[in-house]
Amino acid sequence: GDRWKEMRNTLSPSFTASKMKFMFDLMSKCSHNFVNYLVDHPEVCHAIETKGAFKRYATDVIATTAFGISVNSMKDPDNEFYIRGIEATKFSAGPLMMAKVMLFRACPRFAKLIGLSFFPPATTEFFKKIVEETIKAREEQGIVRPDMIHLLMQARDREGAGVHKMTLDDIVSQAFIFFLAGFETSATLMCFVAHELAVNQGVQDRLREEVQQHLAEGNSEISYESLSKMSYMDMVISETLRKYPPMILIDRLCVKRYELPPSRPGCKNVIVEPNDVLMVAIYSLHRDPKYFPNPDKFDPERFSKENKDKILPCTYLPFGHGPRQCIGNRFALMETKILIAHLLQKFTLKTTEKTVEPIVYNKKEFTLQPVGGFWISLKKRKT
């Protein structure tokens, strides 16, 4: 309701185009650190499990843009920020986790009353301590850094009738949910992009040509402006999001009685009542041949300038839709694109004997994951 709208309005300025431009340099530095580590350690490139590697990159990006902390998780593999992130996102679909999910959904107040949590207490305390120390240091030293923590501090100090007084827990919660939402999903998107580029060498060659063209125009550097002009990059990422949406379904809570028209001639209408939960099966929409012919084929041309306007509204929902669509979609796209661009500059992505193609999904995971993990090889290019 109103409290959600207030929080959304507080956070939205963090994700405007101007803020993305500011964050680009921070992301680009993380991307360079990541790729340079791989260049300097060819022994890890023969067969690399990309999920573990890309999680480290995603950790570094979120640490610097949301928490104001510089981390290099490839050079320092056991840093606490990364370890706590892994702990927080271990969501395997075991009996205990399923029981927790059902209890949280059916009896949220009771679950809260008995102190039930998805996260280990030490993980919760770690993120709370980081945010608390960051706020304290900024207040004492007058540090202003246009990131999420700064915006939340401004919201905390806001006065007025009807304004929810933000607590430290509110600030920690928002910073943490940003970490949680952007850590696993962004890393998974990067894995699927890398997988499809390794499997489809023609797509990879064409994308590298586009990257090289912008590198040549920018004195071997990729700028925020040049990245946003990479049309084929956008097509490749969009098609990856279609084929492998980060969330296979989303849910929405009805707040007002509504009559849905018949889905097809001869069917009945449906009345949706307040407090009804609606599930939207994104994966099923994205793989429906009625909307996307030959849906199992990886075809970036679906999102070409000529074709993308033919996609029916609300059949392509990688980040949800409407007022509650993913607030960080620009952020996720930018950190993925800059990493892929830097990887293609230095490496050719190839399949290995461990690469699973076509992908067989692990049924014990909440998100789309191949059995045995994401495996490719990176062959260093002569540049």
Q: Which residues belong to the annotated binding site?
A: 326
Q: Between 168-199 and 121-141, two packed helices, what is the crossing angle to 10 degrees? A: 110
Long-range pairs of 63-67 with CB within 8 A, sequence gap ≥ 24: 64/26, 64/29, 64/30, 65/23, 65/26, 65/27, 65/147, 65/148, 65/331, 66/147, 66/148, 66/149, 66/175, 66/178, 66/179, 67/130, 67/131, 67/134, 67/149, 67/175, 67/179
Please name the amino acid found at residue 265. P
Annotation: binding site for heme: 326
